[in-house]
Structure 1
Amino acid sequence: MASIILKRTGHKIPKDRCAEVVYNSIKVGYRLFDGAGDYGNEKEAGEGVGRALREGIVKREELCEAKAAAKMQLNLWGLDYFDLFLVHFPIALAYVDPKHRYPPEWWGDDRKVNIQNTPFQETWGAMEELVDEGLVKNIGVSNVAGVLLVDMLSYARLEPQVLQVELHPYLTQESLLRLAKTLGIAVTAYSSFGPQSYLELGFKGKVKPLFEQDVVVKVARAHEREPAQVLLRWATQRGIAVIPKTNTANRLLSNLTSTSFDLTEAEIATISALNIDLRLNDPADIDPRLAIFA
């Protein structure tokens, strides 16, 4: 496995198979598990973790969970602390009591997006308190642009340890990666496989799934690997952690061995040249007031 902070891969999987897949993932060697309040599968995922702990497959200190909620989610996971806790989006929405509705998603009871007037500095202060209370070991951010990272450093008592962003060959985010490296912030990539089907981009034409992209397929054949492994290695070889999604046993093993070969610098550059700034996860698609990447 790549020897970087939060280096081991994880995944989000369907709720009905969550416990089984988390358990099997631990069994084959996965140690980083990523989730969010939006998924609503913490209890099931915790059951998988609990089974692995009870059977002695792994010790608690060997596991790492990244979550986007706190004390209630610790209870759902059946754990005493989180290794890493992220602010999922730098967006303040009106609070929805989890006892009333969980997961809250993006909506109020009126099915509208209700924005709350809370500065990010206040949110980060609450994150720091979780560390002070021993409920979280490390804190970080997700879906944050460079301007907010720089601003955070002016007031953060505990600097963010991790930046989690959408990152794949169609969205390489080179300038943000350089900034994170300069600031000493580890980067985790989600949506590493890009679009899973053809996308129509108007005047830009159709975009192929990366699994079918000629450059990726050519590199995969040259190394006798799967396109998915090439896409993961493209990220990990540059010091980026990945959290690919799958609930298929053979894919779990295939993804886990994606660091057993190296791409050439020319291959990495060729794959990076596929960038078209294609963002698949943009809150502005929900509400134009949430255009955090504008």
Structure 2
Amino acid sequence: MEGKEIRDLVINALNLGYRHFDCAADYKNEPEVGEALAEAFSTGLVKREDLFITTKASVFSIKILWNLDHGHVVEACKDSLKKLRLDYLDLYLVHFPVATKHTGVGTTGGALDEDGVLEIDTTISLETTWHAMEELVSMGLVRSIGISNYDIFLTRDCLAYSEVKPAVNQIETHPYFQRESLVKFCQKHGICVTAHTLLGGAVANSEWFGSVSCLDDPVLKNLAEKYKKTAAQVVLRWGIERNTVVIPKTSKLERLKENFQVLTLSSPKRTWT
């Protein structure tokens, strides 16, 4: 998407009632999102305190630490804040539990060795990265910190060495990849689970793995027809019902509207509100 398209999409989302925006250095659109947010604040469309902004650091969430930035957490966070035109983030996540060779704050391309293999930085531990994330809280740059794409064992380890417990674990989870043990473990220990790729990857799954997309699954399509909704809305509601935060991704205005209409999904026996 071009800059104006991203700006318009964010403004449209705000007008529809969206208040949680999930960003990442790797998405390469933070300046455009920041421009839209600045416009929304200046025109009085919303106030900063009305929004929940997550981003992810470029270690390799609003903002997420990218893989390249594990040893440069504070710099990476400040870089995202500058691009998003914000004074603080509501949530900052470690994007992936692996550190790759640093190529500069704000860059997202992985460093490859002579064989074309991603270069892993073995000198930086996840514990070191996490304590740097905790420093961001002390500095007032972020309100909460969390992890992303951590399995149950890495999540357990993070709980053991953390002084500030991770508030969130953002993971792929959907009807085809439910990860019930990980979801229940996080919830048991007070870690909110945010579901990404919550529609099952759609085209990616069918093209890469030859599987049927959630959106084309006969069972889900039948349920959607029964409740006069779309298959995507059924899956989103399923995610909400299991007490996970759902963050659907779309570039289309009609899908923005559709994704927002999941709280009216009902049946003769039960109304979900």
How does the TM-score come out when normalised to structure 1? 0.79
- Counterpart CA distance in 1 for 2:138 and 2:53 is 18
Percent of aligned positions with the same letter in both sequences? 37
Matched, 1:52 2:34: no
Render the CA deviation track for 1:156-205: whole Å, top value 9, x for unaligned: 1000000100011110001101101111110100111113233465xxxx
Matched, 1:92 2:80: no
Render the CA deviation track for 1:250-273: whole Å, top value 9, x for unaligned: 1111101112224799xxxxxxxx
Q: Unaligned stretches of 5+ in structure 2?
A: 58-76
- Counterpart CA distance in 2 for 1:264 and 1:169 is 23
User: Could you tell me which amino acid in structure 1 is paired with residue 126 of structure 2?
Assistant: F
Identify the match of residue 157 of structure 1 among 142, 163, 173.
163
- Counterpart CA distance in 1 for 2:119 and 2:223 is 46
Look up the match of 1:257: 261
User: Could you tell me which amino acid in structure 1 is paired with residue 94 of structure 2?
Assistant: V
Identify the match of residue 243 of structure 2 among 239, 242, 262.
239
Look up the match of 2:68: none
How far the C-alpha of 1:232 sits from its partner, in A, is 0.3
Moved more, 17-26 or 110-119: 110-119
Matched, 1:78 2:78: no
Identify the match of residue 176 of structure 1 among 182, 202, 213.
182
- Counterpart CA distance in 2 for 1:32 and 1:200 is 30
Identify the match of residue 130 of structure 1 among 112, 117, 136.
136
How far the C-alpha of 1:15 sits from its partner, in A, is 4.8
2:229–2:265 contact (8 Å) kept in structure 1: no
Counting helix residues as a fraction of each chain, which structure ranks higher? Answer: 2
Matched, 1:35 2:23: yes
- Secondary structure at the residue paired with 2:162? coil
Matched, 1:120 2:126: yes
- Counterpart CA distance in 1 for 2:110 and 2:267 is 40
Structure 1 residues 263 and 145, CA gap change in structure 2 (3 angstroms): farther
Spell out the pairing of 1:190-269 with structure 2 (5 A cutoff).
Answer: 190-197=196-203, 198-199=206-207, 201=209, 206-262=210-266
- Secondary structure at the residue paired with 2:194? strand
User: Could you tell me which amino acid in structure 2 is paired with residue 115 of structure 1?
Assistant: I
User: Could you tell me which amino acid in structure 1 is paired with residue 119 of structure 2?
Assistant: N
Render the CA deviation track for 1:111-137: whole Å, top value 9, x for unaligned: 641111211110000000000000000
- Secondary structure at the residue paired with 2:161? coil
2:102–2:111 contact (8 Å) kept in structure 1: no
Give aligned pairs, total.
246
The two structures, once aligned, show a CA RMSD in angstroms of 2.0
- Secondary structure at the residue paired with 2:128? helix
1:143–1:164 contact (8 Å) kept in structure 2: yes
1:27–1:52 contact (8 Å) kept in structure 2: no
Q: Unaligned stretches of 5+ in structure 1?
A: 1-13, 266-294
- Secondary structure at the residue paired with 2:26? coil
Moved more, 168-177 or 110-119: 110-119
1:86–1:142 contact (8 Å) kept in structure 2: yes
How does the TM-score come out when normalised to structure 2? 0.85
- Counterpart CA distance in 1 for 2:180 and 2:102 is 34
2:11–2:40 contact (8 Å) kept in structure 1: yes
- Counterpart CA distance in 1 for 2:221 and 2:109 is 37
